[in-house]
């Protein structure tokens, strides 16, 4: 779906595969109204608030609420390391659970799972077969398929062949949604797309 991405600066994590390091620093200060005006200029119905780790910004919750109030379909991409309890109930949360291969799995805030609903998604970025097996174990341990609308698995770019991950999904017998980074397929591995 045509979507406007609002990318907020900063992230307390350092996943080894991160492709958004340019978002750790810099950016410019904006008011909520200024962001709303920029979003409106694109004319899309869907807005994805992402980062970095968007919830690391103190005003992210207010921005997200304002986007919902304007009538946008809002999704939030978050690392799973920050509390999500205060995120507006109209938002579709796309929450990572960091695998051991990310080198940040100790940052998973497992208590976030209690806040997720059928409108939400959980995503695993898979760096190896061991990561996939770990994800399957966590899916079963926490009954994730019943908790959220979709459980997504995505191959870490350059570390797992997409076809290999698709094969693991089929062999697992689990109804997982397979996802590739479509912006890289379309426009290459570069910032700003
Ligand atoms: S949580 Fe996301 S933005 Fe932060 S280091 Fe990991 S991949 Fe990069």
List, for residues 7-45, the tens digit of each pLDDT value. 999 999 999 999 888 888 888 999 999 999 999 999 999
What is the 11 CA–ligand 1 centroid distance (Å)? 6
Q: For a ligand 1 pocket test, name from 10, 20, 22, 105 the mutation site with the most ligand atoms within 8 angstroms of its C-beta.
A: 20
CATH number at residue 35: 3.20.20.70
Read off the tokens for 156: 């870490």
N residues, the chain = 193
Residue 130 located in a structural domain: yes
For residue 39, the enclosing domain spans 3-187
Cα(183) to ligand 1 centroid in Å equals 17
Per residue in 66-125, pLDDT (tens digit) is 999 999 999 999 999 999 999 999 999 999 999 999 999 999 999 999 999 999 999 999
The answer to whether residue 192 is domain-embedded is no
Which long-range contacts does 145-149 make (Cβ < 8 Å, 24+ apart)?
145/174, 145/175, 147/113, 147/116, 147/117, 147/122, 148/116, 148/117, 148/118, 148/120, 148/121, 148/122, 149/118, 149/119, 149/120, 149/121
What global pTM score does this model have? Answer: 0.94
**How many domains does the chain contain in total?**
1
**128-164 pLDDT tens trace:** 999 999 999 999 999 999 999 999 999 999 999 999 9
Ligand 1 pocket test: pick from 5, 12, 16, 18 the residue with the most ligand atoms within 8 Å of its Cβ.
18
């Amino acid at each position: 779906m045509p979507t406007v991405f609002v990318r907020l600066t900063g992230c307390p994590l350092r996943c080894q595969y991160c492709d958004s390091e340019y978002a750790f620093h810099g950016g410019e200060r904006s008011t909520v109204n200024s962001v709303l005006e920029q979003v409106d200029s694109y004319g899309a119905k869907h807005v994805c608030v992402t980062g970095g780790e968007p919830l690391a910004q103190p005003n992210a919750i207010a921005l997200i609420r304002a986007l919902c109030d304007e009538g946008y379909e809002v999704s939030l991409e978050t690392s799973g390391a920050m509390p999500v309890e205060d995120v507006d109930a109209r938002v579709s949360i796309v929450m990572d659970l960091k695998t051991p291969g990310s080198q940040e799995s100790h940052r998973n805030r497992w208590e976030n799972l209690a806040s997720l609903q059928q409108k939400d998604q959980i995503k695993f970025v898979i760096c190896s077969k061991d990561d996939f097996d770990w994800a399957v174990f966590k899916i079963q341990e926490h009954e994730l398929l019943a908790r959220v609308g979709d459980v997504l698995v995505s191959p870490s770019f350059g570390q797992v062949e997409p076809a290999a991950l698709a094969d693991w999904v089929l062999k697992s017998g689990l109804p997982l949604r397979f996802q590739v980074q479509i912006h890289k397929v379309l426009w290459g591995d570069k910032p700003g797309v």
